[in-house]
């Protein structure tokens, strides 16, 4: 029987990062993955959708090339087969890279289903592995809700989750998306760009419920202006093949669609751990600030603990878990400083408190909001829509929240993440010299606004 210091179950962005970090710290490490390393994020989520979004943005830019003084001859078209092929190529390169890094760092990779026998033993095929510490990183799966007709339509292929939608052979002429969260709006952006008639059906009173209200309002207007129908406060009642019936304002409405995307969330893959007697919160494994479960040598990271279903959170949790298990560090996980990103057009990025949350907490805060048009680089790039909203406490002007609605917003949010980690204030951000012309000047202008007034508005 082979014995390891760390055994990681699941090879997604949490699991493979945990395995590599543990190996770098000198541990003997095994990783068990039943499919391909990289998990949902690399194979069926984050990366594939971003390749689609890049193709969509390129297509849109070419359609409007004359706005930049570039003339074109004839109509700009797209080849869906080549778009999918490009996606597959990027995924293959990245998963191959992860496999190489695991091998280079001396991690033993076992392909197969890992059956957890005890807190120290996992069976893979006919082989039983012994481990001093177990890191569970089994991720989550898309929810197929128990709505009448949904299960049957899913089996027929007229209802899909994001995983199946990423592999469709042709772009659908009509697409109904159930759920106005991150996955829903990103796919809405993609397929609307390629000419699909897209309808979002959201049960809540608005899309993107975790985002700041100013961002939600602006993005809803953008989606509608792009021709996407956004139905909020609408509850799906049933599905019959390609027909979906929803209730809005007390009235049942039935619509037809080539495909129906279920984007109502994910559920942790926590089946199979019964022998560990872990403390659970519904499907989620309960963990402490070091990612420990109630069984001291067993850790649960990523989607499995249900705290933040984001790849970068899983990766960070993986590092904290193995450092703690190997007694190489005592860094605690901070969930109040998690950046989140939405790759629409424009993009959305956020960290910390929304204004609504700051108000509900009774904090004495100040808001600085600067439009994208205040930055010369944005105008040069032909991007006019968007803003940054910085929330600081009034006493020290410490950053407590930041919300960006702009192109490349996902690249800008890291400055705020660093500032919050350092307990930085608007003074430090404003005094850091930002190069001109860059989009990062938006961050500086917002800091100046928090102190007194922005320069360029």
Q: CA-based angle 349:352:356, to the nearest 5?
A: 95
| Residue list for the binding site | 50, 114, 179-186, 202, 265, 303, 309-312
User: What's the confidence (pLDDT) of residue 329?
Assistant: 82
pLDDT category, 445, cuts 50, 70, 90?
A: very high
| Residue list for the binding site for NAD(+) | 179-186, 202, 265
pLDDT of 69-81, one tens digit each? 999 888 999 999 9
pLDDT category, 379, cuts 50, 70, 90?
A: very high
Residue 430, judged by CB atoms within 10 A of its CB (0-12, 13-18, 19+), counts as: buried
Domains in the chain (CATH in brackets) are 3-141+267-325 (3.50.50.60), 150-264 (3.50.50.60), 346-451 (3.30.390.30)
Question: 208 in the Ramachandran plot: left (φ > 0), alpha (ψ -120 to 50) or beta?
Answer: left
**DSSP one-letter string for 392-428:** EETTT-BEEEEEEEETTHHHHHHHHHHHHHTT-BHHH
Q: Residues 44, 403, 436, 456: which is the catalytic one?
A: 436
Strand boundaries in 258-374, DSSP class E: 259-262, 266-268, 280-281, 284-285, 298-300, 340-342, 347-352, 365-371
Pairing of strands 266-268, 259-262: unpaired
The closest of 444, 66, 141, 143 to 457, measured between CA atoms, is 444
Q: What is the mean pLDDT of residues 350-365?
A: 98
CB 442 within 8 A of CB 412: yes
pLDDT of 394-421, one tens digit each? 999 999 999 999 999 999 999 999 999 9
Residue 145, SS3 per DSSP: coil
Q: Give percent above pLDDT 70 in the chain.
A: 100
Q: What is the pTM of this model?
A: 0.95
Residue 431 appears among annotated catalytic residues: no
- For 108, phi then psi, to 5°, come to -80, 120
pLDDT category, 330, cuts 50, 70, 90?
A: confident
pLDDT of 192-228, one tens digit each? 999 999 999 999 999 999 999 999 999 999 999 999 9
Q: Is the peptide bond before 437 cis (omega within 30 degrees of 0)?
A: yes
Bridge partners for 253 per DSSP: 246
pLDDT of 158-178, one tens digit each? 999 999 999 999 999 999 999
| Residue list for the binding site for FAD | 50, 114, 303, 309-312
Helix %, strand %, coil % of the chain (to 5): 35, 25, 35
Question: 74 in the Ramachandran plot: left (φ > 0), alpha (ψ -120 to 50) or beta?
Answer: left
User: What's the confidence (pLDDT) of residue 138?
Assistant: 97
User: What's the confidence (pLDDT) of residue 44?
Assistant: 85
């Amino acid at each position: 029987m082979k014995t390891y210091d760390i055994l990681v179950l699941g090879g997604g962005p949490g699991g493979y990062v945990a395995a590599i970090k543990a190996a770098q710290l000198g541990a003997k490490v095994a990783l068990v993955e039943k499919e391909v390393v990289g998990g949902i994020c690399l194979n069926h989520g984050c990366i594939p959708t971003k390749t689609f979004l890049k193709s969509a943005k390129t297509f849109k830019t070419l359609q409007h090339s004359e706005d930049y003084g570039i003339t074109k001859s004839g109509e700009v078209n797209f080849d869906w087969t080549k778009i999918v092929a490009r996606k597959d190529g990027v995924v293959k390169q990245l998963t191959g890279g992860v496999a190489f890094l695991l091998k280079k760092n001396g991690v033993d990779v076992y392909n197969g289903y890992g059956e957890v026998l005890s807190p120290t033993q996992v069976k893979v095929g006919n082989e039983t592995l012994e481990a001093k510490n177990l890191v569970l990183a089994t991720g989550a799966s898309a929810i197929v809700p128990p709505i009448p007709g949904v299960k049957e339509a899913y089996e027929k292929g007229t209802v899909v989750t994001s995983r199946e939608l990423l592999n469709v052979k042709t772009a659908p002429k009509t697409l109904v998306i159930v759920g106005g969260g991150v996955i829903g709006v990103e796919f809405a952006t993609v397929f609307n760009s390629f000419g699909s008639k897209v309808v979002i059906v959201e049960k809540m009173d608005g899309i993107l419920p975790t985002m700041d209200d100013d961002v939600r309002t602006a993005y809803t207007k953008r989606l509608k202006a792009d021709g996407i129908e956004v139905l909020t406060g609408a509850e799906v009642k049933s599905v019959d093949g390609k027909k979906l019936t929803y209730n809005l304002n007390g009235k049942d409405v039935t619509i037809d669609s080539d495909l129906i995307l279920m984007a109502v969330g994910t559920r942790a893959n926590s089946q199979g751990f019964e022998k560990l007697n872990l403390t659970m919160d519904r499907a989620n494994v309960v963990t402490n600030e070091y990612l420990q479960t109630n069984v001291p040598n067993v850790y649960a990271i990523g989607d499995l603990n249900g705290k933040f279903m984001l790849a970068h959170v899983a990766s960070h949790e993986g590092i904290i878990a193995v450092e703690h298990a190997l007694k190489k560090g005592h860094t605690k996980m901070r969930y109040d400083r998690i950046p989140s990103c939405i790759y629409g057009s424009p993009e959305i990025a956020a960290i910390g408190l929304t204004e609504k949350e700051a108000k509900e907490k009774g904090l004495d805060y100040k808001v600085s909001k600067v439009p994208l048009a205040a930055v010369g680089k944005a105008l040069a790039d032909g991007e006019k829509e968007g803003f940054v909203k910085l929330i600081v406490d009034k006493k020290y002007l410490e950053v407590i929240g930041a919300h960006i609605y702009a192109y490349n917003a996902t690249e800008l949010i890291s400055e705020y993440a660093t500032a919050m980690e350092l307990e930085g204030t608007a003074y430090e951000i404003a005094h850091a010299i930002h190069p001109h012309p860059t989009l990062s000047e938006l961050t500086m202008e917002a800091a100046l606004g928090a102190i007194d007034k922005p320069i360029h508005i």
